[in-house]
Amino acid sequence: MFLNQLILARTLFNKAIYEGIVEQNYCPFSCKGLTIRIPESLKVGLNSSEIEKIEKLELVKDSRLWHARNVFMLSFNLAGMRIGDVLRLKWGDFKEGRLFYVMGKNYKPGSVKVNFKLTDILAY
């Protein structure tokens, strides 16, 4: 929680400096050597049986859970694409059996082959 507050404070200082409200020499962060270190997070992935259970869940078609599961499976089958990137996809991004897109976080171009599971989800 404290880390999030520090990041928010830094963001506010940066915005205030940018808008000329505060001079940079008053910034307590990077300009004075104080940096916010974000620790590495422990990422725990799902195993194949857990993914299979999610795929086979019987859900009411067109319900919120049904759509949420489809978006999750879409992300999963797109090599774990970030949800923000999934939500920005357009039909024009799919060409010749591949998805071509630019990652929102780092603006790097990416390309993923569309497999049969993706085709089924995209059909909806």
pLDDT digits (tens, 9 = 90+) for 2-58: 777 888 888 888 888 889 998 888 887 766 566 677 778 777 888 999 999 999 999
Q: How far is residue 74's CA from residue 86's CA, in Å, rounded to a whole number?
A: 8
Sketch the domain layout of the chain as residue ranges.
2-32, 48-123
Q: How far is residue 69's CA from residue 49's CA, in Å, rounded to a whole number?
A: 16
Q: How far is residue 71's CA from residue 64's CA, in Å, rounded to a whole number?
A: 11
pLDDT digits (tens, 9 = 90+) for 60-118: 999 999 999 999 999 999 888 888 999 899 999 999 999 999 988 889 998 989 888 88
Structure tokens at 55: 């795929």
Task: Output the CATH code of domain 48-123.
Answer: 1.10.443.10
